[in-house]
């Protein structure tokens, strides 16, 4: 079946440093979504990318969808302690809503 | 607009006992998901409904797990009998077709 892997599994940065997580799917995706899960919370939607090569920005967050629609990345510029949590990518295939989540990257930010 | 509502939030049961979880999705969302999430891992899909039809239940352990979505709205997930390895957080989510998924708070199940 479809597999979605993320690297790194965990990253610890000091506040102000940049952070990037990479997402790779074993199959071509129709779209990709990104979610953030705070400790003890549930996943919260951040953004959806649909087009090949698409880049979207949300303040300090930059999301990119690969040309082959099999990979994606999330980059955070100048991290803050509020960025702490686990970031998941999740992909849809075909026309169905079969949302498959990646393995996640846990981000820890210290002062 | 109310979000996805799940109950109970926490459940502790002895192994071999039955347990049921309930989910009320966002009104108008045709897709309903049940995910299982173990500590430190990503959500794993158990079953997906499109309206009242279960269209993807390939990951549901059908010998002990069952689910239903009444009238294409509320859904219940049942485990009978529960095993120690079933301890996890059970997340319900809903969405429009290929839209963003809205998650409930989850039910944390502990089997002792």
Q: What is the pLDDT of residues A26-45, one digit of tens each?
A: 999 999 999 999 999 999 99
Query: Where residue B2 falls among pLDDT bands split at 50, 70, 90?
Result: confident
| Nearest-Cα residue of chain A relative to residue B92 | A42
Which among A22, A18, A19 has a CA at the least distance from the CA of A8? A22
Q: Could you say which of A92, A102, A106 has the minimum Cβ distance to residue B98?
A: A92
- Asked if A42 lies within 8 A of B58 by C-beta distance, the reply is no
> Is residue A108 helix, strand or coil?
strand
Residues of B in contact with A98 (CB under 8 A): 45, 48, 56
pLDDT at residue A96, as a whole number? 73
Q: Would the pLDDT of A5 be above 80? A: yes
Looking at every residue in chain B, the average pLDDT score rounds to 94
Query: Where residue B1 falls among pLDDT bands split at 50, 70, 90?
Result: low
- Asked if B98 lies within 8 A of A30 by C-beta distance, the reply is yes
pLDDT digit string, tens, across residues A52-90: 999 999 999 999 999 999 999 999 999 999 999 999 999
Please name the helix (run of DSSP H) or strand (run of DSSP E) that holds residue A37, with its range, or none.
strand A31-37
Distance from CA of A61 to the nearest CA of B (A): 18
């Amino acid at each position: 079946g479809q597999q979605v892997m993320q690297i790194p599994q965990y990253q610890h940065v000091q506040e102000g440093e940049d952070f990037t997580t990479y997402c790779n799917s074993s199959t071509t995706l129709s779209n990709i979504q990104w979610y953030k899960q705070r400790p003890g919370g549930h996943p919260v939607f951040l953004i959806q990318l649909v087009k090949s090569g698409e880049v979207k920005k949300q303040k300090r967050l930059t999301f990119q969808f690969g040309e082959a629609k099999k990979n994606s990345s999330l980059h955070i510029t100048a991290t803050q302690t509020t960025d702490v949590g686990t970031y998941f990518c999740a992909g849809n295939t075909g026309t169905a809503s079969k949302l498959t989540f990646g393995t996640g990257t846990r981000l820890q930010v210290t002062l | 607009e109310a979000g996805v509502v799940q109950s109970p939030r926490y459940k502790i049961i002895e192994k071999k006992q039955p347990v049921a979880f309930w989910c009320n999705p966002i009104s108008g969302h045709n897709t309903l998901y049940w995910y299982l999430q173990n500590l430190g891992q990503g959500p794993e899909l158990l079953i997906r409904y499109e309206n009242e039809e279960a269209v993807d239940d390939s990951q549901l352990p059908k010998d002990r797990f069952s689910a239903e979505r009444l009238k294409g709205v509320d859904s219940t997930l049942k485990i009978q009998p529960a095993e120690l390895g079933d301890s996890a957080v059970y997340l319900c989510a809903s969405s429009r077709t290929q839209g963003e998924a809205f998650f409930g708070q989850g039910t944390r199940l502990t089997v002792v």
